[in-house]
Amino acid sequence: MALLDLDPTVVATARELAARAAEPVVALAKAHTTVAVERATLRLAGITGADSTHRAGDVPWVNRVVDTVRDHCGLEHGVVLPVFHALKQHDLATLTDLAEATAAGQIRYTLPEGRDRERARKAATTAVTKGLRTVDRNRAQRDRLVARLGDPPQRPWIYLIVATGDIDEDVVQARNAARAGADVIAVIRSTGQSLLDYVPEGATHHGFAGTYATQENFRIMRAALDEVSKEVGRYVRLTNYASGLCMPEIAVLAGLQRLDMMLNDSMYGILFRDINPIRTFVDQRFSRQVHARAGIVINTGEDNYLTTADAVDAAHTVTVSQLLNEHFAHEAGLPDHLLGLGHAFEINPKVPESFRLELAHALLARELFPDAPLKWMPPTKHMTGDVFNGYLLDGFFNLAGVLTGQSILLVGMMTEAVVTPFLSDRDLALANVRYVLNAAGGLAEDFRPAPDGLIVKRAHQVLGEAVDLLGRIVEDGLLDAIADGTFGLMKRPADGGRGADGVVEKADGYANPASELLEAR
């Protein structure tokens, strides 16, 4: 039931402007590849493992191979042609064998031509297809498990983070959280991983304020959650981050290990990790294609803007970003039901009527994106060491979630301003959510924003400001808008940022069976 009485033509205008603003960026994304996209492709084709003899620590084989190919013949035609050509030439059984040989300096990569090229291409397609089949199987398996065990009985789904830095402790905490009512577990990443241009290997135990995203950690946690899912009688979902310099690869690993949701934003890396904009948009498009194939819900990161910008002043930038994320996602093949667009309860609680303003913003998102599983993020910026008040604020956040029909509730922690969550924080936070859902679950029925009241007016105002801003972005170009500090007050020029040297303009003969197979759908 629509409560805000949004004007459908204004909404349509907003979407149209977002599409126009995104257009040049999509074109850029199509015209380029990146080292990460190429590595992701090889991962789909079956390469695994790392070079543990290397003096810089474990270097994944895929990095060795892609770096060497780039050295030898460039990446503008894609990595698969040289790689599968070399495999054939040296008559090696697996990509890992090839990687070892590469490390030993035995391989000289060249771009195959003519029939060699066709053969390499075909072999690559076969290999990638096999990888995609695993992804498809995982998707089917998820569907089966959900059918058997069931989805959470209530909305919003309850989303909890674990962040010990040690996958084994994470498992303890995740299990207990699931038993206490969590529907989704997110394993927070170690600081710094997003700037690594490789994905670490194996089970890890020494992250800082989070645990490394690795294929093995994914596997361990998904297995633990499968077990606890049976115990609690509902399918408990697992989330990680397809973000940072390895966004496409992590998306592939998520597909291979049946993760269910991934943090994946079109601009987060640019704004908050100072990653090169082009790199980000290219990586983002590929990773979303993978997510679409894997049936993974993406979580976008608009909440972050409100930690650096003011939640009232910058409310419309959240809306603009959601519209952009929506467009980029649709363009990459993600349907609405996989669009976990983000937004957050971050207004300074000292602002008069702050709770009603939150309701206005949350309702606006809800009515703009009625079919998207919106992800509602808790207060963080205005949390303090006063854990009692923090607990209260989280309660009102939960209430706002219930009143405005949010789909996924990231559970806030009273220790937000103090430490990464304690076991007991999570337990208390869940008790908070349970109370609110149980006691006021149906209150939305009685929530009818006054037609000309603060809430309705505010929502209209924010939408209006969003349309205006989109208009300006269409004129100036999205890249310039980003460079100007439009989002989260972060200024990121298109040619700056990390990972820019990993961007490669595609040559005419560029071949990538992964892209092709994913694009085909």
Partner 1 sequence: MKRHVRPYGDTTGDGMVQTSFTLPVPAGPQADGAAQQLANKMGIDPAMVVHSHPIGDDFTFFVVYGSVRHLVDLDEVRVVQREYPLLSPTEVNTALKKLLRRKLVVVGACIGTDAHTVGIDAILNIKGFAGEKGLEYYRELTVVNLGAQVSVPELVRRARDGKADAVLVSQVVTQRDAHLLNTREMAAAFREAMGERRPLLIAGGPRFDPLMAAELGVDRVFGRGTTPGEVASYLVHAMHTRAVHTSAVQTRKDNA
Ligand X SMILES: Cc1ncc(COP(=O)(O)O)c(C=O)c1O
Q: Which residue has the tokens 């990595």?
A: 79
> CB 427 → its own copies: shortest distance, Å?
10
Q: Examine residue 419 and tell whether it contacts its own copies (CB under 8 A).
A: no
Do 253 and 198 meet the contact criterion of CB atoms below 8 Å apart? Answer: no
**Catalytic residue check, 391:** no
Total residues binding partner 1 (CB under 8 A): 38
Q: Examine residue 173 and tell whether it contacts partner 1 (CB under 8 A).
A: yes
Which of ligand B12, its own copies, ligand X, none interacts with 383 (beta carbon under 5 to 8 A by kind)? ligand B12
**Catalytic residue check, 122:** no
Nearest to 296 by CA among 230, 328, 332, 251: 251
**Catalytic residue check, 305:** no
Using DSSP bridges, classify how beta strands 59-60 and 50-51 pair: parallel, antiparallel or unpaired.
antiparallel
Nearest to 305 by CA among 330, 281, 322: 322
Q: Examine residue 384 and tell whether it contacts partner 1 (CB under 8 A).
A: yes
Q: Examine residue 146 and tell whether it contacts partner 1 (CB under 8 A).
A: no
Instruction: Output the six-digit token pair for 199.
Output: 């994905």
Residue 65 CA neighbour count, 13 Å, CB half: 34
Q: Examine residue 508 and tell whether it contacts its own copies (CB under 8 A).
A: no
Task: Enumerate binding residues for ligand X (CB under 6 A).
Answer: 189, 193-194, 241, 243-244, 263, 265, 268, 273, 301, 304
DSSP 422: P
> CB 140 → partner 1: shortest distance, Å?
32
Q: Examine residue 45 and tell whether it contacts its own copies (CB under 8 A).
A: no
Distance between CA atoms of residues 25 and 23, nearest Å: 5
> CB 444 → its own copies: shortest distance, Å?
10
What's the first-to-final CA gap in the chain, in angstroms?
33
Q: Examine residue 354 and tell whether it contacts its own copies (CB under 8 A).
A: yes
Nearest to 146 by CA among 236, 254, 258: 236
Q: Of the listed 109, 235, 268, 391, which one is catalytic? A: 268
Which of ligand X, partner 1, ligand B12, none interacts with 380 (beta carbon under 5 to 8 A by kind)? ligand B12
Among residues 396 and 422, whose Cβ is nearest to partner 1? 422
CA 406 to each of CA 49, 259, 374, 419: distance values in angstroms, whole numbers, following the listed order: 40, 22, 6, 27
Distance between CA atoms of residues 462 and 318, nearest Å: 9
Among residues 91 and 445, whose Cβ is nearest to its own copies? 445
How wide is the angle at C-alpha 179 spanned by C-alphas 173 and 180, nearest 5°?
85
Q: Is 176 left (phi over 0), alpha (psi -120 to 50) or beta?
A: alpha
Nearest to 102 by CA among 66, 127, 134, 76: 66
Q: Of the listed 283, 303, 394, 425, which one is catalytic? A: 303
Q: Examine residue 11 and tell whether it contacts ligand B12 (CB under 6 A).
A: no
Which of partner 1, its own copies, ligand X, none interacts with 268 (beta carbon under 5 to 8 A by kind)? ligand X
Distance between CA atoms of residues 369 and 326, nearest Å: 9
Strands (E) located in 97-172 = 157-162
Q: Examine residue 189 and tell whether it contacts ligand B12 (CB under 6 A).
A: yes
Residues that bind ligand B12 (CB under 6 A): 188-189, 191, 209-210, 272, 304, 307-308, 380-381, 383, 415-420
Residues marked as catalytic: 268, 303, 375
| Residues near partner 1 (CB under 8 A) | 163-166, 169, 173, 175-176, 179-180, 190-192, 195, 206, 208-209, 272-274, 307-308, 384-388, 415, 417-424, 427-428
What residues line the site for its own copies (CB under 8 A)? 349-356, 359, 386-389, 391-393, 395-396, 399, 414, 428, 431-432, 435, 438-443, 445-450, 453-455
